[in-house]
Structure 1
Amino acid sequence: MIQVMIIEDDPMVRDINTKFLQRVDGFLLIKAASNLTQAKSFIKKHKVDLILLDIYLPKENGIDFLKWIRAEEIRVEVILITADKTIERIQEAFRYGARDYLIKPFTLERFKESLFKFKDRYSQFNKISEIEQTELDKYILSNNDLEEANNGTTDLTKGLNRYTYDMIWQQIKLIREKGEKYITAEELGETLGIARVTCRKYLEYMNKEGKVEMLIEYGKIGRPQHKYKINSVT
């Protein structure tokens, strides 16, 4: 499990972020801090893999905490969650190694996209000691391209977004890891917080790619049900 600390002074926002986190498999909240003093004390004594960090805290600044982490050489990743949308602040956050930058208010879908991208990179890097350039590029180019994240640009067919595609694909892989086989667009949409028609569009695209197989079940009443699973040769 990826161990997470949330740093947020607003109790209501902290509760919302906690509930969002609980809806993503593979992540465990181990600390919810309301100020940087609590956060520093905790991180010195406990292993934390990921911090969800607010910038605006009472008489404190999350960017200063990010700088402190780097100065102390603490091995932890940080995703900024803030209402600050100034380019200067965004650039500063990435300059000090922020993994992603979520601007309030954000959607559950965007939140999950960020965590799934982090989880994929985290899991893969913990399995290997070396990596080739072509494989590394998959993580660098997809995780750090801020303009692509904000504008939704993609190298997929028109109307499809790379981040949504990756999020759906990660969930399908997770289903296979759990030993389950088929999933419908409705079930996928409920899990990820995405509209059924959107999931269906991406699943059909993956089917054309040959990455997933489609099964059509005809019932006695209603429309036939489309089910999908990872192609056995993928």
Structure 2
Amino acid sequence: MSEEPSLRVLVVEDDPVAAEAHTAYVQRVPGFTVVATVGTCRAAIRALHEQAVDVVLLDMYLPDRHGLDIVRALRAAGHPADVIAVTSARDLEIVRSAVSLGVVQYVLKPFVFQTLRERLEAYRSYAHRVGAADAVNSQSEIDQMLGTLRTTGRAHLPKGLSEELLARASRVLRESGEPLSARDLAHRLEVSRVTARRYAEHLCETGLAERRSRYAGAGRPEVEYRWRH
């Protein structure tokens, strides 16, 4: 039995740290190969014209244009590539527009490797089913085919972390006009300093936030966290 060819992935992410992480994540999932990693809408459209791409891993917030413009350009050109949104965009209008344009998966930042792997594996099953079929003979076949895109929705976070509090911590850091210490973050989240530090450190590990030391006189420096814009 011949092995299925790898699905070719275009990673579109303007943040260098996140782009490197997403590229590495995709390469770790069997059946996928990253053919290019770009950071702008213009570069993405050029890459799609220059090489074969099966699926686009797409951030919505790009420096030159909105990520949805890439999806519209794909559809207008009749390009067959599917799109998996990987973004911090939580605006309902963006989600609705993504769905209406045929985005097959929507992954919210921050996430860990297992979350993206689950989405990619679900997409791989769907793509192979579609590629192997010339037509469908029943409603159940269509349901099964589309059902492969669905995932369990399990949260793959480190033990003790919750998606709800992680989203709140992300929002606080993202909307803060200045770096925050663990004590500052704890106060705004109404949690303990230790808990706030765990969430801040997780955001740093996933590339969404960064840490730095602040020296204020004698004694140990205080660690501050800020969102990576």
Q: Please indicate the TM-score interval, normalised by the length of the shorter structure.
A: 0.5 to 0.7
Aligned partner (choices 4, 11, 14) of residue 6 of structure 1: 11
After TM superposition, the score normalised by the length of structure 1 is 0.60
Match of 2:144 among 138, 151, 165: 138
Local SS of the residue matching 1:41 = helix
Aligned equivalents of 1:91 and 1:151: distance in 2? 22
For 1:143, the aligned partner's letter is L
Secondary structure of 1:88's match? helix
Q: Distance in 1 between matches of 2:152 and 2:78?
A: 28
Shift of the alpha carbon at 1:150? 5.5
Could you tell me whether the CA contact under 8 Å between 2:44 and 2:70 is conserved in 1?
no
Distance 1:40 1:29, change over 3 A: same
What are the residue-to-residue correspondences of 1:135-214 with 2, within 5 Å?
135-143=141-149
The alignment status of 1:109 with 2:114, answered yes or no, reads yes
CA-atom RMSD, angstroms?
1.8
Relative contact order, higher structure (CA 8 A, sep 6+) = 2
Q: 2: CA distance between counterparts of 1:58 and 1:149?
A: 33
Question: Given the alignment, which residue of 89, 95, 102 partners 1:90?
Answer: 95
Q: What runs of 5+ residues in structure 2 fail to find an aligned partner?
A: 1-5, 156-229
Shift of the 151–30 alpha-carbon distance from structure 1 to 2, 3 Å rule, reads closer
- 1:3-42 to structure 2, matched below 5 A, reads 3-42=8-47
What is the percent sequence identity of the aligned residues? 26
Corresponding residue of 2:126: 121
SS in 1 for 2:51: coil
Residue pair 2:86, 2:108 contacting (<8 A) in 1 also: yes
Alpha-carbon distance in structure 2 between the residues aligned to 1:23 and 1:41: 26
Q: What is the TM-score of this pair, normalised by structure 2?
A: 0.61
Structure 2 Cα separation of the partners of residues 141 and 25 of structure 1? 21
What is the letter of the counterpart of residue 134 of structure 1?
S
Give the unaligned 5+ runs of structure 1: 153-234
2:66 maps to which residue?
Answer: 61
Aligned partner letter, 2:104 = R
Match among 79, 84, 94 for residue 79 of structure 1: 84
Secondary structure, in 3 states, of the residue corresponding to 1:57? coil
Q: Residue 75 of structure 2: which of 70, 78, 81 is its match?
A: 70
The DSSP-based 3-state class of the residue aligned with 2:78 is: coil
Structure 2 residue matching 1:75: 3-state secondary structure? coil
CA distance in 2, matches of 1:18, 1:41: 19
Distance 1:61 1:86, change over 3 A: same
Q: What number of residue pairs does the alignment pair up?
A: 149
- Where in structure 1 do 4 or more consecutive aligned residues deviate above 6 Å? none
Q: Which amino acid aligns with 2:142?
A: L
